[in-house]
Amino acid sequence: MVTVTEAVISGLGVALPPSTGQDELWDGFFAQHYAAGRRGLAKRIFANSGVVTRQAAVSPLKEDVSGWSTERRMRRFQEEAVPLGSAAVGRALADAGLDASEVGLFAVCSCTGYATPGLDIHLARDLGMSPNVQRLFVGHMGCYAALPGLGTVSDFVVARGRPALLLCAELTSLHMQPAGAGPPDVQQIVSHALFSDAAAAAVLVPASSGQAGYVVREVAAVTDSTTAGHMTWEVTDLGFRMGLSPEVPTVLSLHVRTLVEDLLKRHRLTIGEVDGWAVHPGGPKILDVVQERLGLDDQALAASRGVLAAYGNCSSPTVLLALDALRREARPPRRVVMLAFGPGLTLYGVLLEFSTVAA
């Protein structure tokens, strides 16, 4: 029996709903969504979001879901997420040259939709996975969920010597909040200006298989529980409501450099030896803080800023979109650090290293 010491990302797949320009969304819906007293502020937030286009499975230009019950939103999630997730998984499997029946563990991350049977069961059945496939659903971890998900499937590959599959699928468009009355709710405006829908999947196989790809060297995390209220995702009768404190970038700035330096130090590396950065683009200020605290140049975060501009903040799939953008560059980076942030306040980091023939 071959001893497996590491897992390698051998395939990635992305699926996106129809895309719409940020300006079109503003003019066609959001300009009327806010009362006159908050419209000017909202317009400035939309204009400064860093988002140019984004996608929605349930577009506000066609359906206003802000008054829908949570039950109605969850039913619609199943209708939209199953085909979207199926497309992402199918592309990842094709990219890896793997058949669905070979998958040993299928893990699904989502914080925007819940049902039983869930995405994991429906997709395992529809895609022809083995009846013996192990399944795991990771819910309500928010924007950073892809990285603990990646760690879990990587650990399975190493422990069992079998391929594993991770899917992140989010439909944030289903959680549009009512306009409401009273003073402007800046946190809701920011949420409406940033968030988007996407599905992204990753196939991991034993490094001993010899397949080329990014080897998962280590997954690391730090949580500052003293700031747990800075980022929230609350279940209400009208969907899930986002809370985003303006203090999030400040807290992030306190921890991100230490997290990255400690992660790299364990592999005898420095920040200057990393040539690829896949950073979750929670918003322009998040990327600004990461760039400043790590001392990176503009090019280092070009892929992450490009993802924010082209796709918006898609919650958990977004950091995988940034990794996919890096690997499609003319000269893909050799060493990549993935970073994502979310409720807790939690920071996750992953070190990847490309290997043409994994050992």
Enumerate the domain spans of the chain: 7-208, 213-355
Given CATH 3.40.190.10, say whether it is the number of domain 7-208. Answer: no
pLDDT score at 180 = 66
What pLDDT does residue 359 have? 43
Q: How far apart are CA 284 and CA 210, in angstroms?
A: 39
Tell me whether the CATH fold assigned to 7-208 matches the one assigned to 213-355. Answer: yes
Distance CA 282, CA 316 (A): 10
List the catalytic residue out of 109, 111, 143, 168.
143
The reported pTM is 0.96
Give me the pLDDT at residue 2, please: 55
**Does the active-site annotation cover 168?**
no
Per-residue model confidence as pLDDT tens for the chain (359 residues): 556 689 999 999 999 999 999 999 999 999 999 888 789 999 999 999 999 999 999 999 999 999 999 999 999 999 999 999 999 999 999 999 999 999 999 999 999 999 999 999 999 999 999 999 999 999 999 999 999 999 999 999 999 999 999 999 999 999 999 986 455 588 899 999 999 999 999 999 999 888 899 999 999 999 999 999 999 999 999 999 999 899 999 999 999 999 999 999 999 999 999 999 999 999 999 999 999 999 999 999 999 999 999 999 999 999 999 999 999 999 999 999 999 999 999 999 999 999 986 44
Distance between CA atoms of residues 31 and 101, nearest Å: 48
Domain 213-355, what architecture? 3-Layer(aba) Sandwich (3.40)
Supply the angle between the helices 318-327 and 302-311 in degrees, to the nearest 10: 120
- Which uninterrupted H or E stretch holds 32? helix 31-33
- Closest alpha carbon to 350 in 245, 268, 264, 271: 264
